[in-house]
Amino acid sequence: MHYGTGGRKSRFRVSAARREALRLLGKKGELELDTDRGLAGLEPRDRALAREIVAGTLRNRSRLDFCLSGLLREKPESLPPPVLDVLRMSAYQLLYLDRIPAYAVVSDAVELAKDSGVAGVVNGVLRNLARRSEEPEIPRSAGDPVGWLALNYSHPRWLVERYVQAWGEEFTQGLLAANNLKAPLVLRDDSADPAAGKLQRRLQAQGIDCRAGRYAPEAVVIERQDLNPAELPGYPEGLFYVQDEAAILVGRLAVSPSAKRIVDFCAAPGGKITHLARLAAGPTLLVACDKSRRRLARLRENVTRLALDDLFTVVAEARAPAVGPCDLVLCDVPCTGTGVIRRKPELRWRIAPSDLVSLSELQAEIIEAAAGCVRPGGVLVYSTCSVEREENRLVVDRFLAAHPEFCLEDAARYLPAEVVTEGCLTTFPNLHGTDGAFAARLVKRQP
Protein backbone atom coordinates (compact mmCIF):
# COMPACT_ATOMS: atom_id res chain seq x y z
CA MET A 1 0.00 0.00 0.00
CA HIS A 2 1.50 3.33 -1.07
CA TYR A 3 0.88 6.36 1.14
CA GLY A 4 3.30 8.83 -0.44
CA THR A 5 5.96 10.87 1.33
CA GLY A 6 7.03 14.45 1.51
CA GLY A 7 10.29 13.73 -0.35
CA ARG A 8 8.89 13.07 -3.81
CA LYS A 9 5.93 14.01 -5.87
CA SER A 10 2.90 11.91 -5.00
CA ARG A 11 1.35 9.88 -7.81
CA PHE A 12 -2.04 10.57 -6.24
CA ARG A 13 -4.00 13.68 -7.17
CA VAL A 14 -5.55 15.41 -4.16
CA SER A 15 -9.31 15.13 -4.21
CA ALA A 16 -11.24 18.34 -4.74
CA ALA A 17 -13.29 17.59 -1.63
CA ARG A 18 -10.25 17.46 0.65
CA ARG A 19 -8.66 20.53 -0.90
CA GLU A 20 -11.84 22.54 -0.36
CA ALA A 21 -12.25 21.16 3.16
CA LEU A 22 -8.75 22.36 4.08
CA ARG A 23 -9.49 25.79 2.63
CA LEU A 24 -12.67 26.11 4.67
CA LEU A 25 -11.02 24.94 7.90
CA GLY A 26 -8.45 27.70 7.45
CA LYS A 27 -11.04 30.44 6.98
CA LYS A 28 -11.55 33.07 9.64
CA GLY A 29 -15.04 33.97 10.75
CA GLU A 30 -18.37 32.38 9.96
CA LEU A 31 -18.60 29.45 7.56
CA GLU A 32 -21.48 29.27 5.10
CA LEU A 33 -21.36 25.65 3.97
CA ASP A 34 -24.68 25.93 2.13
CA THR A 35 -23.72 28.98 0.07
CA ASP A 36 -19.91 28.80 -0.22
CA ARG A 37 -18.92 29.37 -3.85
CA GLY A 38 -15.99 27.00 -3.72
CA LEU A 39 -18.22 24.16 -2.58
CA ALA A 40 -20.90 25.07 -5.10
CA GLY A 41 -18.43 24.36 -7.90
CA LEU A 42 -17.84 20.76 -6.82
CA GLU A 43 -19.61 17.67 -8.00
CA PRO A 44 -22.47 16.75 -5.60
CA ARG A 45 -20.55 13.79 -4.15
CA ASP A 46 -17.41 15.86 -3.53
CA ARG A 47 -19.47 18.72 -2.11
CA ALA A 48 -21.16 16.39 0.38
CA LEU A 49 -17.81 14.89 1.42
CA ALA A 50 -16.18 18.30 1.90
CA ARG A 51 -19.07 19.46 4.10
CA GLU A 52 -18.90 16.26 6.12
CA ILE A 53 -15.14 16.61 6.65
CA VAL A 54 -15.37 20.26 7.71
CA ALA A 55 -18.34 19.87 10.04
CA GLY A 56 -17.09 16.60 11.52
CA THR A 57 -13.60 17.97 12.15
CA LEU A 58 -14.98 21.02 13.93
CA ARG A 59 -17.46 18.99 16.00
CA ASN A 60 -14.73 16.62 17.17
CA ARG A 61 -11.71 18.92 17.28
CA SER A 62 -10.74 18.33 20.90
CA ARG A 63 -11.16 14.56 20.59
CA LEU A 64 -9.04 14.56 17.44
CA ASP A 65 -6.30 16.56 19.17
CA PHE A 66 -6.39 14.05 22.01
CA CYS A 67 -5.83 11.21 19.54
CA LEU A 68 -3.06 13.05 17.72
CA SER A 69 -1.28 14.06 20.92
CA GLY A 70 -0.42 10.41 21.60
CA LEU A 71 1.33 10.18 18.23
CA LEU A 72 3.17 13.50 18.19
CA ARG A 73 6.34 14.51 20.01
CA GLU A 74 4.91 17.98 20.57
CA LYS A 75 1.49 19.37 21.41
CA PRO A 76 -0.83 19.56 18.39
CA GLU A 77 -1.39 23.30 18.86
CA SER A 78 2.35 23.95 18.44
CA LEU A 79 2.15 22.88 14.77
CA PRO A 80 1.54 25.44 12.02
CA PRO A 81 -2.26 25.90 11.69
CA PRO A 82 -2.47 24.54 8.11
CA VAL A 83 -0.58 21.38 9.11
CA LEU A 84 -2.75 20.90 12.17
CA ASP A 85 -5.85 21.29 10.01
CA VAL A 86 -4.54 18.60 7.64
CA LEU A 87 -3.92 16.24 10.56
CA ARG A 88 -7.29 16.93 12.17
CA MET A 89 -9.35 16.48 9.02
CA SER A 90 -7.42 13.35 8.08
CA ALA A 91 -7.78 11.89 11.57
CA TYR A 92 -11.52 12.55 11.38
CA GLN A 93 -11.77 10.60 8.13
CA LEU A 94 -9.71 7.69 9.46
CA LEU A 95 -11.62 7.44 12.75
CA TYR A 96 -15.18 8.34 11.76
CA LEU A 97 -15.69 7.75 8.02
CA ASP A 98 -15.38 4.01 7.52
CA ARG A 99 -16.11 4.00 3.77
CA ILE A 100 -13.05 6.04 2.83
CA PRO A 101 -9.84 4.06 2.10
CA ALA A 102 -7.01 4.92 4.47
CA TYR A 103 -4.49 5.14 1.62
CA ALA A 104 -6.52 7.91 -0.04
CA VAL A 105 -6.74 9.92 3.19
CA VAL A 106 -3.04 9.63 4.01
CA SER A 107 -1.81 10.26 0.46
CA ASP A 108 -3.91 13.39 0.11
CA ALA A 109 -2.78 14.62 3.53
CA VAL A 110 0.89 14.23 2.59
CA GLU A 111 0.31 16.08 -0.67
CA LEU A 112 -1.53 18.91 1.10
CA ALA A 113 1.31 19.24 3.61
CA LYS A 114 4.17 18.91 1.12
CA ASP A 115 5.15 22.60 1.31
CA SER A 116 5.19 22.69 5.11
CA GLY A 117 8.49 20.92 5.64
CA VAL A 118 6.82 18.36 7.92
CA ALA A 119 5.04 16.17 5.35
CA GLY A 120 7.06 13.23 6.63
CA VAL A 121 5.66 13.77 10.13
CA VAL A 122 2.14 13.93 8.71
CA ASN A 123 2.75 10.69 6.84
CA GLY A 124 4.09 8.87 9.90
CA VAL A 125 1.40 10.09 12.30
CA LEU A 126 -1.47 9.20 10.00
CA ARG A 127 -0.05 5.79 9.07
CA ASN A 128 0.19 4.96 12.76
CA LEU A 129 -3.34 6.22 13.35
CA ALA A 130 -4.65 4.17 10.41
CA ARG A 131 -3.34 0.99 12.07
CA ARG A 132 -5.48 1.56 15.15
CA SER A 133 -8.74 -0.34 15.29
CA GLU A 134 -10.62 2.27 17.31
CA GLU A 135 -10.46 5.73 18.84
CA PRO A 136 -8.73 5.83 22.25
CA GLU A 137 -11.04 6.36 25.20
CA ILE A 138 -10.86 9.69 26.99
CA PRO A 139 -10.34 8.98 30.71
CA ARG A 140 -12.66 10.63 33.22
CA SER A 141 -11.17 12.67 36.02
CA ALA A 142 -13.21 12.73 39.21
CA GLY A 143 -11.70 16.05 40.18
CA ASP A 144 -12.31 17.77 36.83
CA PRO A 145 -15.74 16.98 35.35
CA VAL A 146 -15.69 20.22 33.34
CA GLY A 147 -12.42 19.20 31.69
CA TRP A 148 -13.81 15.80 30.71
CA LEU A 149 -16.99 17.30 29.29
CA ALA A 150 -15.04 19.89 27.31
CA LEU A 151 -12.67 17.28 25.88
CA ASN A 152 -15.17 14.49 25.28
CA TYR A 153 -17.73 16.75 23.58
CA SER A 154 -15.23 19.13 21.96
CA HIS A 155 -16.40 22.45 23.37
CA PRO A 156 -14.18 25.22 24.78
CA ARG A 157 -13.69 24.85 28.51
CA TRP A 158 -14.89 28.37 29.36
CA LEU A 159 -18.25 27.66 27.72
CA VAL A 160 -18.68 24.31 29.45
CA GLU A 161 -17.79 25.91 32.78
CA ARG A 162 -20.55 28.49 32.28
CA TYR A 163 -23.12 25.84 31.48
CA VAL A 164 -22.25 23.63 34.44
CA GLN A 165 -22.54 26.61 36.78
CA ALA A 166 -25.88 27.61 35.27
CA TRP A 167 -27.58 24.24 34.75
CA GLY A 168 -25.49 21.47 36.31
CA GLU A 169 -23.49 18.62 34.80
CA GLU A 170 -26.37 16.45 33.58
CA PHE A 171 -28.12 19.20 31.61
CA THR A 172 -24.80 20.44 30.25
CA GLN A 173 -23.83 17.00 29.01
CA GLY A 174 -27.16 16.71 27.20
CA LEU A 175 -26.74 20.14 25.62
CA LEU A 176 -23.17 19.43 24.46
CA ALA A 177 -24.23 16.09 23.00
CA ALA A 178 -27.13 17.74 21.16
CA ASN A 179 -24.76 20.40 19.79
CA ASN A 180 -22.73 17.62 18.18
CA LEU A 181 -25.68 16.00 16.41
CA LYS A 182 -26.34 16.76 12.76
CA ALA A 183 -29.28 19.14 12.62
CA PRO A 184 -32.20 18.20 10.37
CA LEU A 185 -33.28 20.24 7.39
CA VAL A 186 -36.39 22.18 8.43
CA LEU A 187 -38.69 23.90 5.96
CA ARG A 188 -41.29 26.55 6.72
CA ASP A 189 -44.35 25.67 4.69
CA ASP A 190 -45.43 28.94 3.06
CA SER A 191 -48.51 27.57 1.34
CA ALA A 192 -51.87 29.13 2.07
CA ASP A 193 -52.80 26.30 4.45
CA PRO A 194 -49.75 24.58 6.00
CA ALA A 195 -51.97 22.33 8.10
CA ALA A 196 -53.28 20.73 4.90
CA GLY A 197 -49.88 19.11 4.38
CA LYS A 198 -49.47 20.02 0.70
CA LEU A 199 -45.69 20.44 0.98
CA GLN A 200 -45.26 17.17 2.87
CA ARG A 201 -47.20 15.27 0.22
CA ARG A 202 -45.10 16.76 -2.57
CA LEU A 203 -41.90 15.78 -0.80
CA GLN A 204 -43.13 12.28 -0.03
CA ALA A 205 -44.18 11.83 -3.65
CA GLN A 206 -40.50 12.35 -4.50
CA GLY A 207 -39.46 9.68 -2.02
CA ILE A 208 -38.34 12.18 0.65
CA ASP A 209 -39.27 11.16 4.19
CA CYS A 210 -40.48 14.09 6.25
CA ARG A 211 -42.65 14.86 9.25
CA ALA A 212 -44.50 17.75 10.79
CA GLY A 213 -42.74 19.85 13.41
CA ARG A 214 -43.52 19.50 17.10
CA TYR A 215 -44.54 23.06 17.89
CA ALA A 216 -45.26 25.11 14.74
CA PRO A 217 -47.84 24.10 12.12
CA GLU A 218 -45.62 25.47 9.33
CA ALA A 219 -42.59 23.32 10.21
CA VAL A 220 -41.70 20.34 8.00
CA VAL A 221 -38.70 18.32 9.22
CA ILE A 222 -36.42 16.28 6.93
CA GLU A 223 -33.77 14.23 8.74
CA ARG A 224 -31.52 13.81 5.69
CA GLN A 225 -28.61 16.23 5.47
CA ASP A 226 -27.54 15.50 1.88
CA LEU A 227 -30.36 17.39 0.18
CA ASN A 228 -29.99 20.70 -1.61
CA PRO A 229 -33.07 22.80 -0.68
CA ALA A 230 -32.99 24.58 -4.03
CA GLU A 231 -33.53 21.23 -5.77
CA LEU A 232 -36.58 20.25 -3.70
CA PRO A 233 -40.07 20.39 -5.16
CA GLY A 234 -41.80 23.66 -4.37
CA TYR A 235 -38.64 25.75 -4.10
CA PRO A 236 -38.85 27.68 -7.41
CA GLU A 237 -42.45 28.72 -6.78
CA GLY A 238 -41.75 29.86 -3.21
CA LEU A 239 -43.67 27.11 -1.45
CA PHE A 240 -41.20 27.03 1.45
CA TYR A 241 -38.35 28.81 3.21
CA VAL A 242 -35.53 26.99 5.01
CA GLN A 243 -35.92 27.90 8.69
CA ASP A 244 -35.55 26.02 11.95
CA GLU A 245 -38.68 25.48 14.00
CA ALA A 246 -37.39 27.66 16.84
CA ALA A 247 -37.05 30.60 14.44
CA ILE A 248 -40.54 29.90 13.09
CA LEU A 249 -41.83 30.22 16.65
CA VAL A 250 -40.40 33.73 16.87
CA GLY A 251 -42.66 34.75 14.00
CA ARG A 252 -45.65 33.15 15.70
CA LEU A 253 -44.86 35.06 18.87
CA ALA A 254 -44.50 38.34 17.00
CA VAL A 255 -47.58 38.16 14.81
CA SER A 256 -50.14 40.89 15.44
CA PRO A 257 -53.29 40.67 13.28
CA SER A 258 -53.93 44.42 13.52
CA ALA A 259 -50.35 45.42 12.59
CA LYS A 260 -50.22 47.38 9.33
CA ARG A 261 -46.67 48.78 9.64
CA ILE A 262 -43.99 46.19 10.46
CA VAL A 263 -40.22 46.74 10.52
CA ASP A 264 -37.36 44.30 11.14
CA PHE A 265 -34.16 46.09 12.19
CA CYS A 266 -31.71 43.17 11.63
CA ALA A 267 -33.57 41.44 8.83
CA ALA A 268 -31.10 39.66 6.53
CA PRO A 269 -31.28 37.00 5.21
CA GLY A 270 -35.01 37.43 5.74
CA GLY A 271 -36.40 34.43 7.57
CA LYS A 272 -38.45 36.24 10.18
CA ILE A 273 -39.68 39.20 8.16
CA THR A 274 -40.81 36.96 5.29
CA HIS A 275 -42.66 34.81 7.82
CA LEU A 276 -44.41 37.88 9.20
CA ALA A 277 -45.36 38.80 5.64
CA ARG A 278 -47.03 35.39 5.27
CA LEU A 279 -48.83 35.78 8.60
CA ALA A 280 -50.00 39.35 7.99
CA ALA A 281 -53.76 39.89 7.78
CA GLY A 282 -54.73 42.18 4.93
CA PRO A 283 -52.60 44.89 3.30
CA THR A 284 -49.45 45.47 5.36
CA LEU A 285 -46.31 47.54 4.82
CA LEU A 286 -43.22 45.56 5.77
CA VAL A 287 -39.74 47.06 5.89
CA ALA A 288 -36.60 44.93 6.19
CA CYS A 289 -33.53 46.84 7.41
CA ASP A 290 -29.94 45.67 7.57
CA LYS A 291 -26.61 47.48 7.49
CA SER A 292 -25.05 44.90 5.15
CA ARG A 293 -25.71 45.44 1.45
CA ARG A 294 -24.42 41.95 0.70
CA ARG A 295 -26.82 40.32 3.14
CA LEU A 296 -29.69 42.48 1.93
CA ALA A 297 -29.01 41.23 -1.60
CA ARG A 298 -29.65 37.69 -0.36
CA LEU A 299 -32.83 38.91 1.33
CA ARG A 300 -34.07 40.44 -1.92
CA GLU A 301 -33.49 37.11 -3.68
CA ASN A 302 -35.70 35.43 -1.10
CA VAL A 303 -38.34 38.15 -1.37
CA THR A 304 -38.47 37.70 -5.15
CA ARG A 305 -38.72 33.91 -4.94
CA LEU A 306 -41.47 34.14 -2.32
CA ALA A 307 -43.31 36.81 -4.37
CA LEU A 308 -43.75 39.22 -1.43
CA ASP A 309 -44.75 42.45 -3.14
CA ASP A 310 -45.37 44.45 0.05
CA LEU A 311 -41.90 43.92 1.55
CA PHE A 312 -39.29 46.63 1.06
CA THR A 313 -35.59 46.55 1.93
CA VAL A 314 -33.54 49.43 3.37
CA VAL A 315 -29.83 49.69 4.15
CA ALA A 316 -29.84 51.03 7.72
CA GLU A 317 -27.97 50.81 11.01
CA ALA A 318 -30.20 49.27 13.69
CA ARG A 319 -28.93 51.68 16.35
CA ALA A 320 -30.01 54.67 14.28
CA PRO A 321 -33.34 53.71 12.69
CA ALA A 322 -34.96 56.11 10.25
CA VAL A 323 -38.57 54.93 10.52
CA GLY A 324 -41.68 56.42 12.05
CA PRO A 325 -44.00 54.87 14.64
CA CYS A 326 -44.73 51.23 13.79
CA ASP A 327 -47.26 48.66 14.95
CA LEU A 328 -44.65 45.91 15.22
CA VAL A 329 -40.87 46.18 15.52
CA LEU A 330 -38.71 43.05 15.42
CA CYS A 331 -35.14 43.05 16.75
CA ASP A 332 -33.48 39.75 15.89
CA VAL A 333 -30.19 41.06 17.22
CA PRO A 334 -26.58 40.01 16.50
CA CYS A 335 -25.51 37.47 19.14
CA THR A 336 -22.98 34.74 19.91
CA GLY A 337 -25.21 32.18 18.19
CA THR A 338 -24.68 29.48 20.83
CA GLY A 339 -28.17 28.18 20.10
CA VAL A 340 -27.17 27.14 16.58
CA ILE A 341 -23.85 25.43 17.29
CA ARG A 342 -25.24 22.17 15.92
CA ARG A 343 -25.70 23.96 12.56
CA LYS A 344 -22.54 26.08 12.74
CA PRO A 345 -19.93 23.96 14.56
CA GLU A 346 -17.21 26.58 14.03
CA LEU A 347 -19.00 28.99 16.38
CA ARG A 348 -17.81 27.19 19.51
CA TRP A 349 -14.20 27.87 18.53
CA ARG A 350 -14.79 31.38 17.20
CA ILE A 351 -16.55 33.09 20.11
CA ALA A 352 -14.81 34.26 23.29
CA PRO A 353 -15.99 35.39 26.74
CA SER A 354 -15.40 39.00 25.71
CA ASP A 355 -18.03 38.60 22.99
CA LEU A 356 -20.73 38.23 25.63
CA VAL A 357 -19.84 41.64 27.00
CA SER A 358 -19.56 43.48 23.68
CA LEU A 359 -22.62 41.85 22.16
CA SER A 360 -24.86 42.41 25.17
CA GLU A 361 -23.92 46.11 25.02
CA LEU A 362 -24.78 46.21 21.31
CA GLN A 363 -28.07 44.39 21.95
CA ALA A 364 -29.01 46.92 24.63
CA GLU A 365 -28.32 49.78 22.21
CA ILE A 366 -30.47 48.19 19.49
CA ILE A 367 -33.47 47.50 21.70
CA GLU A 368 -33.20 51.02 23.11
CA ALA A 369 -33.28 52.50 19.60
CA ALA A 370 -36.12 50.22 18.56
CA ALA A 371 -38.27 51.32 21.49
CA GLY A 372 -38.55 54.79 20.03
CA CYS A 373 -40.10 53.39 16.85
CA VAL A 374 -43.01 51.60 18.52
CA ARG A 375 -46.35 53.41 18.64
CA PRO A 376 -48.45 53.31 21.84
CA GLY A 377 -50.23 49.97 21.87
CA GLY A 378 -47.61 48.55 19.50
CA VAL A 379 -45.34 45.54 19.96
CA LEU A 380 -41.57 45.19 20.22
CA VAL A 381 -40.16 41.66 19.83
CA TYR A 382 -36.58 41.01 20.95
CA SER A 383 -35.01 37.72 19.83
CA THR A 384 -31.69 35.88 19.61
CA CYS A 385 -30.37 32.49 18.56
CA SER A 386 -28.34 32.34 21.80
CA VAL A 387 -28.81 30.34 25.00
CA GLU A 388 -26.80 32.84 27.08
CA ARG A 389 -28.75 34.68 29.77
CA GLU A 390 -26.62 37.83 29.34
CA GLU A 391 -27.91 38.13 25.78
CA ASN A 392 -31.47 37.16 26.56
CA ARG A 393 -33.40 37.66 29.77
CA LEU A 394 -30.94 40.09 31.33
CA VAL A 395 -31.14 42.42 28.31
CA VAL A 396 -34.94 42.37 28.52
CA ASP A 397 -35.00 42.86 32.28
CA ARG A 398 -32.69 45.89 32.09
CA PHE A 399 -34.79 47.33 29.28
CA LEU A 400 -38.05 46.92 31.19
CA ALA A 401 -36.52 48.50 34.30
CA ALA A 402 -35.60 51.58 32.25
CA HIS A 403 -38.86 51.68 30.27
CA PRO A 404 -41.96 51.34 32.45
CA GLU A 405 -44.06 52.22 29.40
CA PHE A 406 -43.37 48.68 28.15
CA CYS A 407 -44.55 45.40 29.69
CA LEU A 408 -43.73 41.76 28.99
CA GLU A 409 -46.62 39.87 27.44
CA ASP A 410 -46.68 36.16 28.30
CA ALA A 411 -45.47 34.12 25.32
CA ALA A 412 -47.75 31.26 26.43
CA ARG A 413 -50.64 33.24 24.91
CA TYR A 414 -49.14 32.56 21.47
CA LEU A 415 -46.96 29.47 21.79
CA PRO A 416 -47.08 25.95 23.32
CA ALA A 417 -46.28 25.99 27.02
CA GLU A 418 -43.35 23.59 26.51
CA VAL A 419 -41.31 26.30 24.78
CA VAL A 420 -42.06 29.10 27.23
CA THR A 421 -39.96 29.94 30.30
CA GLU A 422 -40.62 32.98 32.52
CA GLY A 423 -43.00 34.37 29.91
CA CYS A 424 -40.47 34.18 27.04
CA LEU A 425 -39.82 31.79 24.16
CA THR A 426 -36.88 29.66 25.32
CA THR A 427 -35.69 26.57 23.45
CA PHE A 428 -32.70 24.23 23.74
CA PRO A 429 -31.55 21.54 21.29
CA ASN A 430 -31.46 18.86 23.99
CA LEU A 431 -34.93 19.67 25.36
CA HIS A 432 -36.92 20.56 22.27
CA GLY A 433 -35.06 19.09 19.29
CA THR A 434 -34.83 22.58 17.78
CA ASP A 435 -32.13 25.21 17.67
CA GLY A 436 -31.64 27.20 20.85
CA ALA A 437 -33.59 30.45 20.74
CA PHE A 438 -35.01 33.23 22.90
CA ALA A 439 -37.69 35.84 22.23
CA ALA A 440 -39.68 38.29 24.34
CA ARG A 441 -42.87 40.10 23.29
CA LEU A 442 -42.97 43.61 24.76
CA VAL A 443 -46.07 45.78 24.50
CA LYS A 444 -45.99 49.56 24.70
CA ARG A 445 -48.74 50.78 27.00
CA GLN A 446 -51.36 53.25 25.82
CA PRO A 447 -50.94 56.69 27.47
What is the spatial order of strands in the sheet that 185-189 belongs to?
A: 211-212, 219-222, 185-189, 240-242
Q: Which of 331, 385, 407, 424 is catalytic?
A: 385
DSSP state letters, 84-142: HHHHHHHHHHHHH-TTS-HHHHHHHHHHHTTTTT-HHHHHHHHHHHHH-SSPPPPPP-T
Query: Pick from 229, 247, 253, 249: which is nearest to 239 by CA?
Result: 229
Query: Is residue 438 within 8 Å of 383, Cβ to Cβ?
Result: yes
Question: What whole-number distance in Å separates Cα of residue 23 and Cα of residue 28?
Answer: 10
Cβ density class 241-263: b for 16+ within 10 Å, e for less: bbbbbbbbbbbbbbbbeebebbb
373 is catalytic: no
Angle at 251 between CA 51 and CA 200, to 5 degrees: 60
Question: What whole-number distance in Å separates Cα of residue 130 and Cα of residue 35?
Answer: 33
| Max CA pair span of the chain | 81
Give the active site residues.
385
